Every structure is written in C-alpha cells, then in structure tokens.
Structure 1
Amino acid sequence: MEVDENQPDENQPDVRRDALSTDVPPPHPYHDYAVPPLTPEEQLEAARKHIIEQDKLIAQLKDKVFSVSRFQCDDGQMSFYTGFPDYDTFKAVYMTLQPTATNMVGWSQAQRLKQTEVQVTRQAFNIPKLATMDQFFLFLCCLRQGFAEQDLAVRFGVSQSTVSRICVTWANYLYFMLGSLPIWPSKATVDECMPTCFRNTYPDTRVILDCTEIYVQMPSLKVLKSKIYSHYKGNPTFKGLIGIAPSGEVSFVSDLYTGSISEKEITELSGILAMLEEGDLVMADKGFLIKEMLSKLNVSLVTPPFLGPSGTFNADEVTETQTVARLRIHVERAIRRIKEFHIFDGVIPMTLVGSVNQMWAVSAMLTNFQGPLF
C-alpha cells in the first residue's frame, strides 16, 4: 500500500494548528508593536523614577570623589590625610588663609613676572577642576602621606603637571604665610606657660634645641657631594635646627643646610642667637659645642654632663643626666611629629630640592596645630 506524502501523519504535530495556538509566546518585547503605548500618566511616573535613580547614582559617585568634603565627618581620616586633628581645625586654618589664597599667584607665573620687566596683569592661581580648599587638601595629602604626583593626579582627577604646580605654589605660599606668624614666644609668655617639670629644675629655660637630618638624592657634581654628605648618617642629607619652647610648641625652625655642617655652625648661621636674651637658658645635646658663643650673650647652656677622666659618673652627674634627658626628650618628640609628614620618609629627589626647604618649614609649623605635645 502506497503512502501519500502529502497526507499528514497522525503522529506528527500539526504545525499550522500550533501556530494559531494561544501557547505561542508573544513577539519580542523590543518590538514596539508588541507593547501598548504608555499613557501620559505612566510616562510621567517612569520619568520620576528615572530621576530618583539618577539622583541616587550621583550621590553615590559624589561620596566616592576624593575631596575634602568626603572626609569632613571623619576626624580619623582627616588626621590621616592632613595631620590636623579634625575637620574643624582644618577648616579654621583654611578660612584664615582664604582671603589671600583665592588671589595668590602660581609659582611659575611669579617666576615669569620676576624675570621680565614688562608689566603684566597679575592673574590669580586658578585650577578650574579643583576648588581652593581642595588644592589645600591636595597639598597636605602630599606632605602628610607622601603620595606621588601621579597618585594624586588620579585621586583628584587632574593632570600630573597640575599636581606639581599646586604643590610648589602652595609650599611657597604657606612658607610665606605661616612664616610670618610670631611663633617665637616672649620671655613673659614662656614663663607663664612653663610646665612644672621645668619650673622645678631649670626655670630659666627659653628654648630646647636639636638638629635632625633628612635624606636627599646624591648630586652629580663632585663639589656638592662632599658638602651634602653626612658622616653621622653615612648618606647625603639636609640638616635642620629645631627649637621648642618648654611648653612643647615649635618656636624655631631653621633653613635646611648641607649634611656636613656641624651643630655649632648651624646654630651660628640659623639666626637663633639673635633671638635669645640675657639671662636665658638653652638646653641641648652634647654635640652642641656652643657654650662659648652663648656666654658672650650672657646666656646659659645646659647639656648632659660629659664623662670625666674617671670613666664613671658620680651620683650628682647621674641625677643631672637623667633630669636633662627627661626634659630634652620633648624636642625629639617634636621632631618625630614633623617626620610623621611622610614626604620625608624616603630620599628627597633633586626635582624637589628647590621647594624642600619650604615644605620642611611648613610641616614643622603645622605641628603646632596638633595640640599639646605633653
């Protein structure tokens, strides 16, 4: 019996019936003809939901932007990035600087104006993508955490050259502004704020001195190599003199000198002698062989006693050594505060030599905003 090929097989599904079945899925939802048009009320509601979602997204993105506003409610983070104990202290310092900060001239522009005799209209230092407060914040991040310029450029969304200009400009600006503050207290102020530990032992103390060094890249010139090399550190360094009042505040910051300079030379060149008055007492380490030059000013010097020919200290010398050490340790704690600005952790490259003196002085003066030393 022959089978008609055109005759439908009873065991096979009827494609035509299935095509008309209600079980067939509707056309693809992207086809406009498959979706009925939204009513005006539905369109308005959808637009409102979209706006709310976009506002939430914008808020989330703002929270992730690296700026001072992100950390204004987190004192721990503010201290980490700036060295200030909290946002209120940061803002108070900035508000004091703001009237002049908004009109300051960029360092590169100032150099051009200095080198030319043609009168040029002065323009304020302006970074369109970065508010003045965030420029201050960027510079403090550079000092406090020692972030590389490329890192800061990514964090703040600006170019690396912009970061470089901001750091140099703010270093010189703050060096001038903070350097104009009268951090050297009067004798009356020192006496009024004298801690009991000094009042009971050395009540005439005016300043506690110590030197410290930071590492710097070895220069290529042979003449500079010998001058910048520190035999104490065994590396090329810059050396600075730091003085604190008995109450713990940094009261004197010298310029940075080449590492080969002695404590006696740096004391003579720094200008600290001109600030001392007759009857003052200076406390320092054994390396400060400055008793003779201080005697000419009728100023006393207290250092730990030297070991005599006997090779041992007597009871009075032991007591004096311990007393001076307990008091002099405060200047070392002050220096440690300065070096917590981690830009000084590594070797200072030659590219920063032009502004490292300003950065060092600014870091030292900023420590006075951190609260009591003890």
Structure 2
Amino acid sequence: MVNRCCVVGCNSATHDRRGKKIENGLTFHRFPAWRRNHGDQMSEITKSRRLAWITAVRRPTITFHNVPVSMRVCSLHFHSGKPAYETNESHPDWAPSLHLGHTKVTAADKERFQQRKRRWDTILASGGAAASPAPADVNEESATAAAAPRGSDQHGAAHEGTQGPPQNCTLDIDQCVSCKNVCGQMRSMHAELDRLLEENETLKKELSAVRLDEEFFGEADGKARDDKVRYYTGLPRWSLLHALHAAITPCLTKGGRKVTPFQMLLLTLMRLRLDLSEQHLGYLFRISSETASKMFRKTLDALHLHLSPLVRWPARECLLHTTPRQFREAFGGRVAVILDCFEIATEKPSHLKPQSEIYAQFNQKDAVKYLLGITPQGAVCFVSEGCGQRVSDKRLTEQCGILHKLLPGDFLLADRGFSVADEDGLMCSQLKPPGFTRGRARMRPKWPAETQQRAQLRVHVEKVVGLVRDTYSILQHALPMSMLAPLGGEAFSFIDKIVTVCCALTNMSPSVVLQPEDHVIPGSDGETDSVADDVTSVRPNAGKEFM
C-alpha cells in the first residue's frame, strides 16, 4: 500500500509512480485518535492534540470528525522525525510544525510585549487588590487616552507623571488567577502521568514474566537469577543463556509473531531440562501444542548446529596439560578417553523388526543404546549414533568410529564389556578393562589393586553420565518412535540430536570430576593450578564456538 503525506506542498511517498519502494528513511504517521473512554484528562488531551494536528495541516477535507484513513503526515514535519508521546504537550513534536505549506505565524510586536511585561510587573508589585481601579475611573481614563493624539508628547508626559495602574488591570488579574488554576491542573496532570508511567512499567514487567521472555529472568540479585536459569535450562548462569540466545537467533524466525526467538530457546531448554509435555508448553507460551512441537524441533536443529562442535575429540597436548592427578599417577597421563554406555527408553514399536532390535530380555524394555567417550577432565568428547540395546558394547565400539580417533600409545579405560583388546582396530592403543580371571583359577597378585584403582577412577567419570541424565530429564523417560528415524535428507535422527545437545550443554557446566587440587601442569614442580571454575580451561575450547 502506498502512503503519501497529506501536508500541502509535500510530495513524500513510500513508492514512486511505478510502484517501486523508495528507500528514503521517511516514516508516515496517522492522525491521533480521540480517546474518549480513557478518562477525562486523557480525553481532553487527545482531543486537543487531534485539533492541533488538523489545524497544522489545514486541509479543507480534514475535519475533527472526518479524517480519511489514508491521510498521513511524514517525518519531515517533526523536529525529531516522529511525533512525541501523546501526553507530552510541551514537546515541540506534539503536533507537526515544520514545512507545513502555509503562512507562518507572524512574530509579536516588541513594543506590545514590553507593555504587557510592565503590566504583569505592576500587578505583582501591587499585590493585585491595590491595583484594581474603579470601573468609572478606568472608563474615564480610557476615554481621555482615546481623545488624546497617539503621538502627543503631552499625553506621554502626563502618562509618565501619573504612573497609574494599567488600563486593563482587572482583566489581567482575572487572567492571572485563571493561569494559576491552569498551572495547578497541569501539576496534577503531570503527577497523574508519572503515576501512570510507573504503573505501566510495572505492568510491562509483570506481563514479561507471564510471557516467559527475557524479563522472566530479571531478578536484581545475580545469584537468584542464575539459580532460576539453572532450574529452567540446566545452564549454570545467565550469561551463558544470553550468549546462546545471541548465537542461534539468526537461525530462528519468529513463530506466528507471537513467540520471540528467546522464547523458542527457552521452550526448547525447558523441554529438555524438565521434560514438559508439548501441550503443557503450549499452555505456558499461549500457543497450540502443534506449534510448540514445531518450534521445539526447529530450535533443537539450530542448537545441534551450533553446539555439536563442543563435543569433539581433544588434542593430546590439551589432555596432557589438564589431566587430573589421580589419572596421571595411575596411567602417566596417557588416558585418552573413558568409555561408557547408557540407554534411553523408547515407546514400543508397532513393527516386529524394530521391536526385535531395541528390545532386551534382561531388562524387559525397549531402549536405544549410546556409547559416550569421556575425557579424564569430565567432558563428553564423543557421542555415537543410537542403536538397539541388543547390540553388544564390543560391537558398538567397533562400529561407532571411536577407534579411528586414537593415537598410538593411548589408553582406553572401559568396563569389562568392552573386550576389544585382541581386535586390530586399536591402532597400537591399549584397552584397560577391570581385571578378571578369563578362565584362570584366580587373579594375578597385582590385579586386585589395579582393578580397585581403575574402578575408583571410573566412579568419578560415571558421574558425568549421571549428570547428563539427571540434568536433562527428557533422557529419563520413554521417547516416541517418531524421534528414532532420520528425517528426509538428514544424517542424524532427532534422538541423536537430543543426546548430542544435552551432552554439549553439560560440557558448558563446571566439571563434576576435576577439583582444584587435582590439576597439575607438567613441569610445574607439583604446583597446583586452580581451574575448576574455568570451564574453558578444563574442557578445551568449550563454550567458545557460539560466543
């Protein structure tokens, strides 16, 4: 739709004659409405403003009760480029005042201004009552003044000699009293305006809290805000949530003009963290459950795109400089990764073939198995693709591709189910499972001590798997079968994306394994370097890809 300025002589428009949009930076504004149902004061202010706009434009087709909908005033006719707030009557842009196309108001005569100023000074000096002459005297003096010539020196001398009160003293006193009343009303209006503005800000904050946008985490206390962020999203602090929002916003579009990108991110994190149903999230964000489902999938795709680099295999130099003391004493800093598996329950498939792949007799449930690679520092560095839980740990380790990431001399710390030591895929690396007899009558003398030491180290690392599952409750309940199959043209299934995103978000949190006294840099002569609070030093490059 083409908008044109209705001011006489102004040719501003949004499109040219050919219908092409003109990029001139101008804005076009409607005539203010008369708000009759917003109180007496607001009704009077808006009525005066509408009259002021009509008077400024001066078009015969525009009246108070008849302003065509197409009539606009462009930003060239305002000092600041836009109209002022409707209650700010003292602002120069309360009504258009520039380039209006008609004769400007002539300036007042300087001599008349000086006469008016002297009258006001006389009224204030006399106190009002003493300066009020009788009507007869005023009429007589007025008649004498009218009879005398305008330029007569005698009249000027007589006027200067008498120094009497002004001629219209009574009228000016009435105007002064009326002005005081108006000033009192203006002070009351300004006080009411301040109260309404403060109430408006309070209501905006309450509305933002109900809408679950940025103001939902608007606590003044930083610790209380971080606790709130941790409960709803699993992230340790507000700054990480804010950085994550800034990173994925370009990948998100506003859903139906009702939900902002921040709300889409919060909806997704609440789904992962609290395992809220899509219908529940729809009620919270005032959208349908179908819309909530679409937003969850779209936002999770954006999170997987930005956060998957956080789950990556670290360089050996980084491992050497950040390996905790217990692992260094046990393996000399050669432990590359600790292997562990966990299952995610799923709904029962309707077909027999997928049911036979994911159903296990030993636990009598349907589940998908994942292999995780965890560094000694407690960071998830590898996530396999999901497979049926009937697949053995050994076969999953051989097929997931983790063996191709090992370097000669690396140690793999694993449970006894990962018995791949005889396979040729280890590439001169060594697997360190717990000690067991393997058909012998008893263990070797040193095996119990080694097994106990490795088991203690595995307990620390198993905390990471427990942290992922405990932090993001969606991994604790059965997921629908629709998440297992990859969508058209995608390499990952939706459940694989969920697991990867949950592990990446866990890597953004402080480590549950590394303690300040555990970190010793080689060559530091045993000096302790406290890095427990610095996630990026414990987990190399963690959290930097999206910030």
Q: Tell me which amino acid in the other structure corresponds to 1:359.
A: I
> Could you tell me how far 1:198 is from its partner in structure 2?
0.7
CA pair 371-53 structure 1, distance change in 2 beyond 3 A: closer
Q: 1:103·1:125 contact (CA, 8 Å) conserved in 2?
A: no
Residues 240-271 of structure 1 deviation map (CA, whole Å, 9 limit, x = unaligned): 00011111111111111111111011111111
> Could you tell me how far 1:170 is from its partner in structure 2?
1.8
CA pair 372-296 structure 1, distance change in 2 beyond 3 A: closer
Percent identity, please.
Answer: 27
Partner of 1:78: 229
TM-score (norm 2): 0.54
Partner of 1:225: 355
Take 1:347 and 1:234, find their aligned partners in 2: how far apart are those partners? 14
Residues 17-71 of structure 1 deviation map (CA, whole Å, 9 limit, x = unaligned): xxxxxxxxxxxxxxxxxxxxxx972983795355554543343333343234312
Partner of 1:358: 497
CA pair 276-314 structure 1, distance change in 2 beyond 3 A: closer
CA pair 232-329 structure 1, distance change in 2 beyond 3 A: farther
> Could you tell me how far 1:352 is from its partner in structure 2?
3.2
Which of 57, 60, 63 does residue 203 from structure 2 map onto? Answer: 57
Q: 1:242·1:250 contact (CA, 8 Å) conserved in 2?
A: yes
Q: 2:310·2:504 contact (CA, 8 Å) conserved in 1?
A: no
CA pair 269-125 structure 1, distance change in 2 beyond 3 A: farther
Q: 2:311·2:500 contact (CA, 8 Å) conserved in 1?
A: no
Take 2:361 and 2:292, find their aligned partners in 1: how far apart are those partners? 35
Take 1:53 and 1:156, find their aligned partners in 2: how far apart are those partners? 24
Take 1:254 and 1:145, find their aligned partners in 2: how far apart are those partners? 24
CA pair 297-165 structure 1, distance change in 2 beyond 3 A: same
Take 1:305 and 1:90, find their aligned partners in 2: how far apart are those partners? 44
Calculate the aligned-residue CA RMSD, in Å: 2.4
Take 1:58 and 1:228, find their aligned partners in 2: how far apart are those partners? 50
Q: Tell me which amino acid in the other structure corresponds to 2:189.
A: L
Which of 299, 302, 322 does residue 429 from structure 2 map onto? Answer: 299
> Could you tell me how far 1:294 is from its partner in structure 2?
5.5
> Could you tell me how far 1:279 is from its partner in structure 2?
1.0
Q: Tell me which amino acid in the other structure corresponds to 2:458.
A: R
Partner of 1:14: none
Take 1:338 and 1:294, find their aligned partners in 2: how far apart are those partners? 32
Which of 307, 313, 320 does residue 184 from structure 1 map onto? Answer: 313
Alignment of 1:114-193 (within 5 A): 124=253, 126-181=255-310, 183-193=312-322
TM-score (norm 1): 0.77
Partner of 2:507: 368
Q: Which consecutive unaligned segments of at least 5 residues does structure 2 have?
A: 1-180, 220-224, 486-493, 514-547
Which range is displaced more, 71-80 or 356-365? 71-80
Partner of 1:87: 238
Q: Tell me which amino acid in the other structure corresponds to 1:325.
A: A
> Could you tell me how far 1:172 is from its partner in structure 2?
1.9
Which of 215, 218, 233 does residue 345 from structure 2 map onto? Answer: 215
Residues 217-250 of structure 1 deviation map (CA, whole Å, 9 limit, x = unaligned): 1101011111111234321100000011111111
Take 2:414 and 2:424, find their aligned partners in 1: how far apart are those partners? 12
Residues 176-226 of structure 1 deviation map (CA, whole Å, 9 limit, x = unaligned): 222244621011111111111011111211000011101101101011111
Q: 1:255·1:361 contact (CA, 8 Å) conserved in 2?
A: no
Take 1:315 and 1:277, find their aligned partners in 2: how far apart are those partners? 30
Q: Tell me which amino acid in the other structure corresponds to 2:510.
A: G
Partner of 1:344: 475
Partner of 1:286: 416
Which range is displaced more, 167-176 or 41-50? 41-50
Take 1:299 and 1:286, find their aligned partners in 2: how far apart are those partners? 17
Of structures 1 and 2, the larger Rg is shown by: 2
Q: Which consecutive unaligned segments of at least 5 residues does structure 1 have?
A: 1-38, 105-123
Q: Tell me which amino acid in the other structure corresponds to 1:291.
A: A
1:44 matched to 2:189: yes
